[in-house]
């Protein structure tokens, strides 16, 4: 199985390491010709959603990424990736990829000093570690299903081929979330 990891900003190398640990092949998507390769799933890592959105447009990647997702390619968005997938961003008219029926609240847990680590139940997986760094949360869902909550806030959701996470599974020892995503790709 081959997974493309958007490598414009953020913890993309950590995602690649997790995928390899799970037995998958990972490659970086940095330019238009990379997205034209054959692959089975896509990861949109954390970083700064405004910057990643701008780079997706400048590098002519936004349209083909969106088309792949609409065409049912499995995608996992973590932190900024969640914001990129969201149909709505609270208190912001910006829409990036906008294919998932969620409203994201950016920097919901505060700035860098508001970062934290916890464990919580994740539907179909069980209790897993979760690392939040300037994290968003899912303020509302329209068509997605909530998979995990922390302190009453939705932090993971799935809609068909799309998985959105407010936390960074690539930064924890567990491979459970990446394994879950790879099952989506099969």
Question: What confidence score (pLDDT) does residue 112 get?
Answer: 56
The CATH class that applies to domain 2-185 reads: alpha beta
4 contacts 43 by C-beta, under 8 angstroms: yes
For residue 170, indicate whether it is catalytic: yes
Residue 156 CA, distance from chain mean position: 9
How do the pLDDT tens digits run along the chain, 186 residues long?
999 999 999 889 999 999 999 999 999 999 999 999 999 999 999 999 999 999 999 999 999 999 999 999 999 999 999 999 999 999 999 999 999 999 999 877 765 556 899 999 999 999 999 999 989 999 999 999 999 999 999 999 999 999 999 999 999 999 999 999 999 999
Helix 49-58 and helix 62-70: axis angle, to 10°?
Answer: 100
Task: Select which of 15, 88, 96, 168 is catalytic.
Answer: 168
42 contacts 73 by C-beta, under 8 angstroms: yes
Task: Select which of 96, 170, 178, 185 is catalytic.
Answer: 170
For residue 79, indicate whether it is catalytic: yes
For residue 22, indicate whether it is catalytic: no
Read off φ and ψ for residue 8, nearest 5 degrees. -100, -25
Task: Select which of 79, 88, 139, 185 is catalytic.
Answer: 79
Q: Does pTM surpass 0.95?
A: yes
* Domain spans of the chain, in order of start: 2-185
């Amino acid at each position: 199985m081959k997974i493309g990891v958007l490598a414009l900003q953020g913890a993309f190398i950590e995602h690649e390491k997790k995928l390899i640990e799970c037995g998958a092949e990972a490659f970086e998507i940095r330019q238009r010709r990379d997205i034209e390769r054959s692959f089975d799933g896509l990861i949109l890592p954390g970083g700064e959603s405004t910057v990643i959105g701008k780079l997706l447009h400048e590098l002519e990647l936004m349209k083909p990424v969106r088309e792949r997702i609409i065409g049912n390619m499995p995608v996992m968005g973590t932190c900024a990736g969640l914001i990129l997938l969201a149909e709505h961003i609270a208190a912001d008219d910006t829409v990036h990829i906008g294919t998932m029926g969620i409203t994201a609240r950016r920097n919901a847990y505060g700035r860098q000093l508001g970062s934290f680590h916890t464990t919580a139940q994740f539907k179909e997986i069980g209790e897993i570690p979760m690392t939040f760094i300037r994290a968003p949360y899912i303020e509302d869902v329209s068509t997605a299903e909530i998979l995990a909550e922390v302190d009453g806030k939705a932090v993971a959701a799935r809609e068909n081929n799309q998985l959105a996470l407010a936390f960074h599974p690539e930064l924890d020892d567990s491979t459970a979330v990446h394994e879950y995503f790879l099952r989506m790709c099969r």
